[in-house]
Amino acid sequence: MATLRLGDTAPDFEQDSSKGVIRFHEYLGDSWGVLFSHPADFTPVCTTELGYTSKLAQEFAKRNVKVLALSVDPVDSHQSWIGDINETQGCVVDFPILADADRKVATLYDMIHPNASATATVRSVFVIDPAKKVRLTITYPASTGRNFDEILRVIDSLQLTDNYSVATPVNWKDGDDVIIVPALQDPDVLKEKFPKGYTAVRPYLRTTPQPNKP
């Protein structure tokens, strides 16, 4: 399987999980999705990641995002591990963890990097939009825990820039000023789209208040 690229359709699959059988595209429905993999159950870094993700449940829900984790261990192992996660992280894991024992999903999404590990998945992250297109891919080594605040930040940027003719600058966070895309030059269109005005630092670099904020 070739590496998935941005804009590709996220492969559909059917796989068992801690919440029963998941049919991926059906599970996502009209929502955005975050699919992220873990090297194995009962591993310390993964335990902290899943705990923190569960604490972000309301943040993901606000953005119409469904979360789906994956590990190559079976369902009964997942269920035992979830008990540990809930107890040690002070949370309730309420999203599915795929039981990818046959590596079907890991293979579809190129989550096993043989030069890193021949059997365990690396820490892959895929953000998928309601049209089932891959919008973000991030790959971390097994030893490094992911920054899920950053994943939420990227989703905020994607959802904003899908609806307005803007891009988000370095270290942008929801509520900060944004950048008008260079292709937009007509003064009348600029006035209509950005009634709060804008600052032209350079002809190609124009900042404006985030358009979907009061």
Residues annotated as part of the active site = 46
List the structure tokens of 138.
Answer: 């991030």
pTM of the model: 0.91
> 14-145, superfamily in CATH?
Glutaredoxin (3.40.30.10)
Domain with CATH 3.40.30.10 in the chain: 14-145
Interval 103-161: pLDDT, tens:
899 889 988 765 445 455 668 999 999 999 999 999 888 888 999 999 999 999 999 99
Give the model's confidence band at 191: pLDDT under 50 very low, under 70 low, under 90 confident, else very high. Answer: very high
User: Are 173 and 124 contacting, i.e. CB atoms less than 8 angstroms apart?
Assistant: no
Give me the phi and psi of 188, to 5 degrees please: -65, -40
Measured distance CA(98)–CA(95) in Å, rounded:
10
